[in-house]
């Protein structure tokens, strides 16, 4: 069975490609490489022994997506392609709305032309906004997103619900990611942010390797045990396996289902710093700063629905995540450069 991974050369896409190949799927990757490297395709081959078919295309261009469907027998799509930099999305919102919505609409239209009905979407826990109490459950109200990036995730979830309501053959799984970190244990693929990282773990690993001077900890006055924000960090390999379960579910069911992919455990920013120091043996200099606008106090998942519908549960712990993030950073100090 051939599955198209849009944005399949990115951080989560590449790890999902590996797990999909390991599970016996034919993987086709479409990626414009705007925030990824073609080297990822070779690394996937080194890890799995299989080179995924690769199209360097922007999936908002309909003719290019049509060609992929003409040349392959695609039975489902996992849609990762999209811009994801939260601060950038507040500065150039139109870029985010145009790209994230356009790519999704184009892929959905071409799927419809080809009677392809299984869709898995990279959504985010950000759709829970700042009004809900943890643990976040899928039946809680969504909304109150604090940036254009998050708003595109919410809009696309709504688009997919409408499409599923109109087409009784269509199936969409809306995967709400919590905080993916870690890397493939081989150290061959991992997160390679462009420029200064916005997210916690790449900032920590770049500090450890000496690219950054120190870690800024944003907010020490949250109502949490140590005052720093609490997140549900999940190993990217666990997350990738969640996609394998989700595309299987999508090909066997119809309708739209939102499903959390998290561990169900919250860790504070300082807990992550300490776990990283223990796993790497490297001390991370820390500077305490004010809260970062748009951040919530607590975010962690209720994971019952993923277990019930997908028969999936995260296996790796925070120590594994820190070890693998560090292994990747040490082996690839400049990412894929």
106 binds ligand UD1 (CB under 6 A): no
Q: Is 149 assigned a catalytic role?
A: yes
Q: Of 149, 177, 203, 249, which one is the catalytic site residue? A: 149
The correct pick among 9, 18, 86, 148 for binding ligand UD1 (CB under 6 A) is 86
End-to-end CA distance of the chain: 33
Concatenate the DSSP letters of all residues of 117-173 into one string. Answer: -EEEEEEEGGGGTTTSPSSB-TTSPP----SHHHHHHHHHHHHHHHHHHH-TT-EEE
The correct pick among 112, 295, 307, 330 for binding ligand UD1 (CB under 6 A) is 295
Burial 256-266 (b: 16+ CB within 10 A, else e): bbbbbbbbbbb
The correct pick among 72, 114, 167, 199 for binding ligand UD1 (CB under 6 A) is 199
198 binds ligand UD1 (CB under 6 A): yes
The correct pick among 118, 160, 200, 275 for binding ligand UD1 (CB under 6 A) is 200
User: By C-beta, is 68 or 275 nearer to ligand UD1?
Assistant: 275
User: Is the four-CA dihedral 85, 89, 91, 94 of positive or negative sign?
Assistant: positive
Can you tell me which residue has the tokens 């990611």?
Answer: 177
C-beta nearest to ligand UD1: residue: 229
Helix, coil or strand: residue 202: helix
179 binds ligand UD1 (CB under 6 A): yes
Residues 6 or more apart whose Cβ sits within 8 Å of residue 262: 125, 177, 178, 179, 232, 234, 300, 301, 303, 314
User: By C-beta, is 54 or 233 nearer to ligand UD1?
Assistant: 233
Asked whether the beta carbons of 90 and 147 are under 8 A apart, the reply is yes
185 binds ligand UD1 (CB under 6 A): no
Asked whether the beta carbons of 310 and 238 are under 8 A apart, the reply is no
The correct pick among 103, 124, 171, 325 for binding ligand UD1 (CB under 6 A) is 124
User: By C-beta, is 51 or 283 nearer to ligand UD1?
Assistant: 283
Sites of contact with ligand UD1 (CB under 6 A): 84, 86, 124, 126, 146-147, 150, 179, 198-200, 203, 215-219, 229, 231, 269, 292, 294-295, 299
Known catalytic residues are 149
């Amino acid at each position: 069975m051939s599955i198209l991974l849009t944005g399949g050369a990115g951080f989560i896409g590449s790890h999902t490609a590996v797990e999909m190949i390991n599970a016996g799927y034919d993987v086709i990757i479409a990626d414009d490489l705007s925030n990824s490297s073609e080297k990822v395709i070779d690394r996937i081959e080194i890890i799995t022994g299989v080179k995924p078919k690769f199209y360097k295309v922007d999936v908002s261009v309909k003719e290019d997506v049509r060609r992929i469907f003409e040349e392959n027998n695609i039975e489902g799509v996992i849609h990762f392609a999209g811009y994801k930099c939260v601060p950038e999305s507040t500065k150039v919102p139109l870029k985010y709305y145009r790209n994230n919505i356009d790519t999704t609409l184009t892929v959905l239209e071409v799927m419809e032309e080809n009677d392809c009905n299984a869709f898995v979407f990279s959504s985010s826990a950000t759709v829970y906004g700042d009004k809900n109490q943890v643990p976040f459950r899928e039946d809680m109200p969504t909304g109150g997103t604090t940036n254009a990036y998050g708003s595109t995730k919410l809009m696309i979830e709504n688009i997919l619900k409408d499409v599923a309501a109109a087409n009784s053959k269509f199936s969409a799984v809306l995967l709400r990611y919590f905080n993916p970190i870690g890397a493939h244990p081989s150290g061959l693929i991992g997160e390679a942010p462009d420029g200064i990282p916005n997210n916690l773990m790449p900032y920590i690993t770049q500090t450890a390797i000496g690219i950054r001077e120190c870690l800024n900890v944003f907010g020490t006055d949250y109502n949490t045990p140590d005052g720093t924000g609490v997140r549900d960090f999940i190993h990217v390999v666990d997350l990738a396996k969640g996609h394998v379960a989700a595309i299987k579910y999508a090909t066997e069911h119809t309708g739209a289902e939102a499903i959390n992919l998290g561990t169900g455990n919250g860790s504070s920013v300082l807990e992550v710093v300490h776990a990283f120091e223990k796993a790497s043996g490297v001390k991370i200099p820390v500077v305490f700063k004010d809260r970062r606008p748009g951040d919530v106090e607590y975010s962690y998942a209720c994971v019952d629905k993923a277990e019930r519908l997908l028969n999936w549960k995260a296996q790796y712990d925070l120590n594994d995540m820190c070890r693998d993030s560090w292994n990747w950073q040490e082996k690839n100090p400049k990412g894929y450069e």
